[in-house]
Amino acid sequence: MKTSIRCGVIGYGLFGAHHARAFAAAQGAELAAIAVPSEASRAAAIAAHAGAALYTDYRQLLERADIDAVSIVVPNVLHFEIAAAALAAGKHILVEKPMALTIAHCRELIRLAAENRRVLAVGHELRLSSLWGGVKRLIDEGAIGQPRYALVELSRFPYRPGAGGWRYDPGRVGSWILEEPIHFFDLARWYLSSCGDPESVYARANSAAMSDNFAATVNFPGGAFAVIAQTLAAFGHHQTAKIAGERGTIGASWSAADARSERPSFSLRHGHGSEGVEVPLDKPAGELLELFDEIAAFIDCVHTGAAPPCTGEDGMWSTALCLAAAKSIETGSVASVAATR
């Protein structure tokens, strides 16, 4: 086993820069290369990571036999193209959500990873959170009995445009459901995993741009269901989750001016009736902390061959749920998840 995994980052926008910092800080890893076409972003990458090789074309990075693993942090429409090329080149990959914009492409990435015996991890970093992961631990410990209902809600300010305005271009983002609510579909499926696979979705949205206000109900076997809701017409970044079971409820909340704030307020409680129990967390909660933990876990999986916290199969499920929600909005009716998978 190699003592250090040589890593590359493809994309160096706002979040790509955080990926690069996380690889540079991870034990057992070395940030060896960055690929980014933008001249301004290349200058920023050179200033921050003088020891890493810089490329304008991701293909140049993938041609290097000494690069073991890459993270892919580019506009959504490019995820499949670059992830497929990286797997075919024998690289382990961490691809940001959504792993692809179609189920056929998700399946192809899973096939390529298996064929080349490479790790395929999908960027649902909330699973690594002391807070959102803490909810799952309480469920698994039986704190509320069998879960029957989940609510995951986000109220936040409008999205930043992204490089070249890609986040406001349906051709490049896919949809805003795939941009952020996909995280909440992943959490809901994770939290209600004991209920079986999701069966259908009913969704509504309205918009000043592309579905600024969005809500969906996800139906599970036996009557369990989850509600996913988001508005982009608000201030700050305020996320909550409530999971109700046969013997009580778990409530989690996180609030700050921005998702990457270093000074959030957050809490995790569970109980029944008039009293709730505050659950102490072993570390703070926040998107960047979770990203660093996700990349550390990815590196460990490359070393050991273990499954990542969010697998390709998980990534395909979250994409399928988003596509079912989009179909429901389009038709005004309940959409089967099986039809999208």
Both 24 and 142 in a single domain?
A: no
Q: What's the chain's average pLDDT?
A: 95
Same-domain status, 131 and 119: no
Average pLDDT over residues 312-330: 97
How far apart (Å, rounded) are the C-alpha atoms in residues 72 and 93?
7
Report the CATH number at residue 178: 3.30.360.10
172 plus 273 within the same structural domain: yes
Question: Amino acid identity of 147?
Answer: P
Whether 132 and 231 map to the same domain: the answer is yes
CATH classification at residue 104: 3.40.50.720
Q: Give the model's confidence band at 327: pLDDT under 50 very low, under 70 low, under 90 confident, else very high.
A: very high
Q: What whole-number distance in Å separates Cα of residue 10 and Cα of residue 293? A: 19
**Boundary residue ending a domain (81, 98, 125):** 125
Which amino acid belongs to residue 292?
F
Q: Quick one: which of 325, 309, 102 has its CA closest to 198?
A: 325
Contact of 49 with 63, CB cutoff 8 Å? no
- pLDDT score recorded for residue 281: 95
Residue 295 included in any domain: no
* Averaged pLDDT, 82-88: 98
Domain that holds residue 249: 127-289+320-340
Single out the residue in 74, 105, 125 at which a domain terminates.
125
pLDDT at position 341 is 67
Lowest mean pLDDT among 89-98, 109-118, 199-208, 271-280: 271-280
Is the pLDDT score of 274 beyond 90? no
Instruction: Output the CA torsion sign for 103, 299, 61, 287.
Output: positive
Instruction: Give the mean pLDDT of 328-339.
Output: 92
User: 11 with 31, same domain?
Assistant: yes
- The residue from 125, 144, 179 where one domain ends is 125
Residues 19-77 pLDDT 10s: 999 999 999 999 999 999 988 899 999 999 999 999 999 999 999 999 999 999 999 99
Judgement on whether residues 67 and 207 belong to the same structural domain of the protein:
no
249 and 147 share one domain:
yes
Query: For 84-105, what is the mean pLDDT?
Result: 98
Q: Does residue 171 sit in the same domain as residue 208?
A: yes
Both 87 and 189 in a single domain?
Answer: no
- The answer on 261 and 222 residing in a single domain is yes
pLDDT of residue 1: 45
Q: What is the pLDDT of residue 68?
A: 98
8 A C-beta contact, residue 5 and residue 30: yes
Instruction: Write out pLDDT tens, residues 164-188.
Output: 899 999 999 999 999 999 999 999 9
| pLDDT for the residue 208 | 73
pLDDT of residue 2: 56
Please tell me the predicted confidence (pLDDT) of residue 3: 77
230-255 pLDDT per residue, tens: 999 999 999 999 999 999 999 999 99
**Residue labelled with tokens 């349906």:** 170
**pTM for this one?**
0.96
Q: What is the pLDDT of residue 339?
A: 63
Does any domain span residue 157? yes
One-letter amino acid identity for 171?
G
The tokens 């967390």 sit on which residue?
281
Number of structural domains (the chain) is 2
Report the pLDDT value the prediction gives residue 323, as an integer from 0 to 100: 97
Residues 57 and 14 reside in one and the same domain: yes
Q: Does residue 9 contact residue 30 with C-beta atoms inside 8 Å?
A: no
Mean local confidence (pLDDT), 291-306:
97
Instruction: Find where tokens 């508005």 sit.
Output: 231
